[in-house]
């Protein structure tokens, strides 16, 4: 049987929600709220890493791969910043939604239904985005290895996920799914959450060196997400291919 990182139950779960990707008040409302801080973090780190002077289109001439792109919520802003964008997702329905939305907005994004280990391309990427995806895959080691194989030497990979702590269980599952109803019940499985040290170790075995890591915390009073030093629940990280 072919080795795969695809978790069929996870794919079916998100495929059933595909039509809601661009509804800011729908099931993906938390991601819409989360998106600005993700974009800011990626933009700031890419500009610094590649010593970019063009502030209007800072991602010009950069090949960027968004893995687990969903409906394109992060892919499209990356394209608007000037990048050459490829988005892959294991859900055909997600890719269909993303493709239609991009065409409606005249965005030339290359969307393909695939997982990193099955993605056929001769291209190597300057930047790879693995955002809110690693906690939904089977065989994280293979997933990171396959992602690293698609990255250029000295390229950067961004990984955002959820820490495996008691606090994350209380906030990301009980709070977000059962109390606040931010997410459908069953969106996350605490046993698939990843501790930063575990992620660092796996990435390190595939030529990815941790460059920086930050917490991403929600302020209930301002209804905003902010970068912080607290990685107890959500965190975002940057790795460099060595």
Q: What is the pLDDT of residue 3?
A: 75
Q: What is the pLDDT of residue 223?
A: 85
Residues 205-229 have a mean pLDDT of 94
Tokens at 131, concatenated? 């955002």
SS3 per-residue string spanning 184-214: CCCCCCHHHCCCHHHHHHHHHCCCEEEEEEE
Give me the percent of the chain exceeding a pLDDT of 70.
99
- Residue 147 in contact with residue 157, Cβ under 8 Å? yes
SS3 per-residue string spanning the chain: CCCCCCCHHHHHHHHCCHHHCCCCCCCCHHHHHHHHHHHHHHHHHHHHHCCCCCCCCCCCCCEEEEECCCCCCCHHHHHHCCCEEEEEECCHHHHHHHHHHHHHCCCCCEEEECCCCCCCCCCCEEEEEEECCHHHCCCHHHHHHHHHHCEEEEEEEEEEEECCCHHHHHHHHHHHHHHCCCCCCCCCCHHHCCCHHHHHHHHHCCCEEEEEEEEEEEECCCCEEEEECCCCCEEEEEEEEC
Residues 180-188 have a mean pLDDT of 82
**Residue 74 CB neighbour total at 10 angstroms:** 25
Write the class of the CATH domain 8-241: alpha beta
Q: What is the pLDDT of residue 83?
A: 98
Residues 161-170 have a mean pLDDT of 97
Residues 202-207 have a mean pLDDT of 98
pLDDT band at 1, cuts 50/70/90? very low
pTM: 0.93
- Residue 58 in contact with residue 81, Cβ under 8 Å? yes
In 3D, which of 161, 162, 131 has the Cα closest to residue 147? 131
Mean pLDDT of the chain: 94
Cα–Cα distance for residue pair 105/71, rounded to 1 Å: 13
Q: What is the pLDDT of residue 55?
A: 83
Q: Is the pLDDT of residue 182 over 50?
A: yes
pLDDT band at 217, cuts 50/70/90? very high
Between the alpha carbon of residue 3 and those of residues 118, 138, 146, 190, 234, the distances in Å are 10, 10, 11, 24, 29
Report the DSSP pairing between strands 224-228 and 208-219: antiparallel
Tokens at 28, concatenated? 């993906």
| Domain ranges for the chain | 8-241
Q: What is the pLDDT of residue 18?
A: 80
Q: What is the pLDDT of residue 80?
A: 98
Q: Is the pLDDT of residue 10 over 90?
A: no
Q: What is the pLDDT of residue 8?
A: 84
Lowest mean pLDDT among 5-14, 113-122, 201-210: 5-14
Tokens at 114, concatenated? 């695939």
pLDDT band at 203, cuts 50/70/90? very high
First to last CA, the chain: 32
């Amino acid at each position: 049987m072919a080795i795969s990182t695809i978790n069929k139950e996870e794919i079916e779960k998100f495929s059933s929600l595909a039509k809601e990707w661009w509804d800011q008040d729908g099931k993906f409302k938390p991601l819409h709220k989360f998106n600005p801080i993700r974009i800011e973090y990626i933009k700031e780190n890419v500009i610094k890493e590649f010593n970019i002077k063009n502030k209007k289109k800072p991602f010009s001439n950069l090949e960027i791969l968004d893995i687990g792109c969903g409906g394109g919520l992060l892919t499209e802003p990356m394209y608007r910043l000037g990048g050459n964008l490829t988005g892959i997702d294991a859900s055909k329905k997600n890719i269909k939604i993303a493709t239609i939305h991009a065409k409606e907005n005249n965005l030339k994004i290359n969307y393909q239904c695939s997982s990193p280990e099955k993605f056929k391309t001769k291209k190597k990427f300057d930047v790879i985005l693995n955002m809110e995806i690693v906690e939904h895959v089977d065989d994280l080691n293979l997933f990171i290895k396959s992602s690293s194989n698609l990255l250029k030497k000295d390229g950067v990979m961004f990984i955002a996920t959820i820490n495996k702590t008691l606090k994350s269980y209380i906030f990301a599952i009980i709070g977000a799914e059962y109390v606040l109803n931010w997410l459908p019940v069953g969106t996350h499985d605490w046993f698939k959450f990843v501790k930063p040290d575990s992620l660092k170790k796996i990435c390190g075995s595939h030529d990815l060196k941790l460059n920086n890591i930050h917490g991403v915390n929600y302020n209930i009073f301002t209804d905003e997400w902010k970068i912080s030093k607290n990685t107890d629940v959500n965190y975002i990280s940057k790795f460099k291919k060595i």
